[in-house]
Chain A
């Protein structure tokens, strides 16, 4: 993931501390049911990188087998592949079958809405296409996790369009939204309106933690679930990535104590080479501090 990447010499000057919770978070968690078993999902944004055949997948693993291998290790995926085009029903059913056959748990696919909806039509006149998306991904059945919509060049002047769109989302269809224009976060009133629209419609707000866009860590939970996209710097900054994950685990622990119901944590790294190492650290910390009981990844012994 290149978004939010900063030059190496700037990394040390980034303030990685997590801000306090946004105002809506307390209201949402207050209403949440207590003692509900929290579900944790940790994954990556891709099921295969050639570089993973050096530590996670066996050398010589064919790209056509990457999904099968991924399913044996993780319990969810940020399904970015759908950004380019919508697969047909049979392909989704095929992926679901692979998940049932290969996953140790109830694997969740978290599809990204196609660029036709988010980037080309920018949510205008998308009812039919969106309904088609919902119909197709519904074939994942129990293996369907939250979907997410990422809006690039889409500023607060289009809030009414976003509002119209989220009002069409079928009840029971879980969706998170990520807006990226800085104007959403630089004005308190705009921010409040944005999160209020999402919350009223039972839509989640993606939180993206990346070096170059600290404003995206808004800490507003608009539903009692979180969808975190964590972007590590990797390389010689991997220790700093681990400390950032530690901070996240402490914050999620607070949310767990206050009634959060589901945690999606997707790990990225610029270049994606060592993403599994970061993801495994997340799993270890979730198990140690949050009793997540997730299977750790199995790396190839050297």
Chain B
């Protein structure tokens, strides 16, 4: 899977983030330009896919990133 862009809303402003997938470890590195935001990981839980991050990230942003990755992957 190639790197891809996702569009998210950060403080009401549209931002384009770069996602670099690593399917073998089921993880996705997320960058805002040159800035590394964190590596996100989907966990399959009772309520469905829940996304976690190795770096502190606002829940709202993490949920948006997760939704966008899921949309990209289906």
**A2 & B72 in contact (Cβ 8 Å cutoff):** yes
Would you give the shortest CB distance from A227 to chain B, in whole angstroms? Answer: 14
The docked-state distance in angstroms from the alpha carbon of A2 to that of B74 is: 7
Give residues 42-59 of B contacting A (CB, 8 Å). Answer: 42-44, 46-49
**A1 & B48 in contact (Cβ 8 Å cutoff):** no
Residue from A3, A66, A67 in contact with B74 in the complex, judged by beta carbons closer than 8 Å: A3
**A67 & B48 in contact (Cβ 8 Å cutoff):** yes
Would you give the shortest CB distance from A107 to chain B, in whole angstroms? Answer: 15
The docked-state distance in angstroms from the alpha carbon of A32 to that of B71 is: 36
The docked-state distance in angstroms from the alpha carbon of A67 to that of B72 is: 21
Question: Is B11 interfacial (CB-CB < 8 Å)?
Answer: no
Tell whether A91 pairs with B48 under 8 Å between CB atoms, given A3-B74, A119-B1, A268-B74: no
Chain B residues, Cβ within 8 Å of A120? 23-24
Residue from A46, A85, A272 in contact with B42 in the complex, judged by beta carbons closer than 8 Å: A85
**A1 & B71 in contact (Cβ 8 Å cutoff):** yes
Question: Is A94 interfacial (CB-CB < 8 Å)?
Answer: yes
Interface size of A in residues (CB-CB distance below 8 Å): 34
The docked-state distance in angstroms from the alpha carbon of A103 to that of B47 is: 16
**A46 & B70 in contact (Cβ 8 Å cutoff):** yes
**A84 & B42 in contact (Cβ 8 Å cutoff):** yes
Interface segment among A75-83, A234-242, A257-265: the answer is A75-83
Would you give the shortest CB distance from B44 to chain A, in whole angstroms? Answer: 5
Chain B residues, Cβ within 8 Å of A91? 44, 46
The docked-state distance in angstroms from the alpha carbon of A83 to that of B23 is: 11
Question: Is B63 interfacial (CB-CB < 8 Å)?
Answer: yes
**B47 & A80 in contact (Cβ 8 Å cutoff):** no
The docked-state distance in angstroms from the alpha carbon of A45 to that of B71 is: 9
Contact flags (1/0) for A65-106 with B, using CB distance below 8 Å?
111000000000010111111110001001000000000000
Would you give the shortest CB distance from A177 to chain B, in whole angstroms? Answer: 16
**A115 & B44 in contact (Cβ 8 Å cutoff):** no
Tell whether A50 pairs with B63 under 8 Å between CB atoms, given A1-B74, A64-B47, A119-B1: yes
**B74 & A63 in contact (Cβ 8 Å cutoff):** no
**B23 & A49 in contact (Cβ 8 Å cutoff):** no
Of A82, A84, A115, A119, most buried by chain B (CB within 10 Å of CB) is: A84
Task: With CB as the reference atom, state the residue of chain B lying closest to A1.
Answer: B74
Question: Is B26 interfacial (CB-CB < 8 Å)?
Answer: yes
**B49 & A84 in contact (Cβ 8 Å cutoff):** yes
The docked-state distance in angstroms from the alpha carbon of A2 to that of B68 is: 8
Chain A residues, Cβ within 8 Å of B34? none
**A85 & B44 in contact (Cβ 8 Å cutoff):** yes
Task: With CB as the reference atom, state the residue of chain A lying closest to B45.
Answer: A91
Residue from A50, A67, A78, A271 in contact with B47 in the complex, judged by beta carbons closer than 8 Å: A67
**B1 & A81 in contact (Cβ 8 Å cutoff):** no
**A83 & B73 in contact (Cβ 8 Å cutoff):** yes
Chain B residues, Cβ within 8 Å of A174? none
Task: With CB as the reference atom, state the residue of chain B lying closest to A231.
Answer: B74
**A81 & B49 in contact (Cβ 8 Å cutoff):** yes
Tell whether A49 pairs with B67 under 8 Å between CB atoms, given A2-B72, A85-B26, A120-B24: yes
A-B contact pairs, 27 of them (CB 8 A): A1-B71, A1-B74, A2-B72, A3-B72, A46-B48, A50-B63, A64-B47, A65-B47, A66-B47, A66-B48, A80-B73, A80-B74, A81-B44, A81-B49, A82-B44, A84-B42, A84-B44, A85-B26, A85-B42, A85-B44, A86-B44, A91-B46, A94-B46, A119-B23, A270-B71, A271-B71, A272-B67
